[in-house]
Amino acid sequence: MEYTLDLQVEVVTQKGHSRSVVKRVHLVRPLSEVEIIPMPYVTEASHINVILPLTAHERDHAGHFLEVYAAAALESSENAVLTFLFIYDPFEAQQVSQNDIFAPVKARIAEYERRFAEVKIPWISVKTDAPSQIKVMDIISKKHPVDTLFFVAGVDTEVTTDFLNRCRMNTINSWQVFFPIHFQGYNPAIAYHGQAPPAALDLMRDAGRFDRDVFHEACFYNADYMAARTRMAGDVQENEDILETLDIYDMFIKYSSLHVFRAVEPALLQRYRQHVCNPRLSEEIYHRCMQSHLEGLGSRSQLAMVLFEQEQGNST
């Protein structure tokens, strides 16, 4: 805890004269003593399985994700493999043979496989009308060994080598799972009002914020996921809807005794994009999504400037 006190005191001399004196005082109070906690050994050599779930309204952004991922992981021969999970709703699944909505994405994947001859980018197709995180992860979990380290990404995630290393170091089998807080860019129309936005998203206060309302990105081991999912099975039998109302973060909090590590991650950036919040999910998850969308538009000063200009325009 840090305090800054501005004190105004009155000084009175022996002769009865007085005057005011202003002093500024800085105080620091430690919250607790520093404690070293023993942790299991981890290494940056671990293999990572990057999982990208993709729905129909996100498919147009997959090309940028692939471009950034290729620069970070494929060109540097990073010890990681990317897997796409194409999520079809029942109607889209029926049209696959005539009109596959993910055909352009699959074509881009094939281009990168030709460009990097030693690389394979597998993909899995799923049909569901309620693409919850847990339902999606159940499918992936069954197809990988128990010692697999997963990084569940979003299509807007800009993967970097630094982050992949921190994913390895902050995720500890049978001990800790990692939910990074990415840096979310503001709406360029508001943050750079009347100016051209920069080509790259900078880690600056006026450019964006760390989005504490989003829990989509996660690093964890398959064995830890399976253990928490097994503990959850009894409640699922009584109420199957919880598969749609909980996300992976909530599952680990409620059904696991692991450390759930939540921290800001400066190496994980996302550009602004208007997200569609799914009202079928739980009220809390839907509220978090809406809060993320509203606070991600711009800073208070930037929003105030836009409102001021609108009011000025309306008054003339």
pLDDT mean over 234-245: 82
Torsion 217-222-224-225 (CA) sign: positive
pTM attached to this predicted model: 0.81
Q: Which of 145, 153, 154 minimizes the C-alpha distance to 173?
A: 145
Query: Which amino acid appears at position 44 of this protein?
Result: E
pLDDT at 293: 85
- pLDDT, one tens digit per residue, over 99-124 is 889 999 999 999 999 999 889 999 99
Give residue 316's pLDDT: 56
Domains delineated in the chain: 48-302 (3.90.550.10)
* Lowest mean pLDDT across 17-26, 70-79, 269-278: 269-278
Q: What is the pLDDT of residue 163?
A: 93
**Which residues, in sequence order, are CB contacts of 111 under 8 Å at separation 6+?**
none
Predicted confidence at residue 51, as pLDDT, reads 95
The pLDDT, as a whole number, for residue 227 is: 95
Mean pLDDT of all residues in 26-44: 80
Contacts of 278 (CB under 8 A, 6+ apart): 286, 289
Distance, CA of 273 to CA of 157 (rounded, Å): 11
Q: What is the pLDDT of residues 183-222, one digit of tens each?
A: 998 888 888 877 777 777 777 778 888 999 888 899 999 9
Residues 82, 52: contact at Cβ < 8 Å? yes
For residues 101 and 88, the answer to whether their CB atoms sit within 8 Å is yes
* CB-CB contact of 147 with 47 (8 Å): no
Q: Tokens 């980018």 label which residue?
A: 121
Q: What is the residue-averaged pLDDT of the chain? A: 87
